[in-house]
Chains A and B, each alone.
Chain A
Amino acid sequence: MKDLKKDLAELKKLSGDDFTRKAAEMKETYTSAEEVAEIHKFIASGFDEIESELKQIKEEILVRDQLAEVAKFVNLSYIAENYFHKSKTWLSQRIHGHVVSGKPRYLSDKDKETLNFALKDMADKLSSLTVS
Chain B
Amino acid sequence: MTDLDQQIETLKQKITDYINISKMFDFPNKERKIQINLMLEDLKELMEKRDKAK
Contact = CB atoms under 8 A, between A and B. Distances in A.
Question: Chain A: interface residue count, which band?
Answer: 20 to 34
Nearest to A20: B20
B interface, by DSSP: helix, strand, loop or mixed?
helix
B27 A23 contact: no
A61 B27 contact: no
B28 A27 contact: no
A47 B18 contact: yes
A interface, by DSSP: helix, strand, loop or mixed?
helix
A99 B2 CA distance: 9
Contacts of B17: 15-16, 19-20, 46
Contact of B3 (A19, A43, A46, A97): A97
Interface of B: 3-4, 6-8, 10-11, 13-15, 17-18, 20-22, 24-28, 32, 35-36, 38-39, 42-43, 45-46, 49
Given A47-B32, A99-B3, A57 B18 contact: no
A112 B3 CA distance: 20
Q: Which 3 A-B pairs have the closest CB atoms?
A: A19-B17, A23-B21, A46-B18
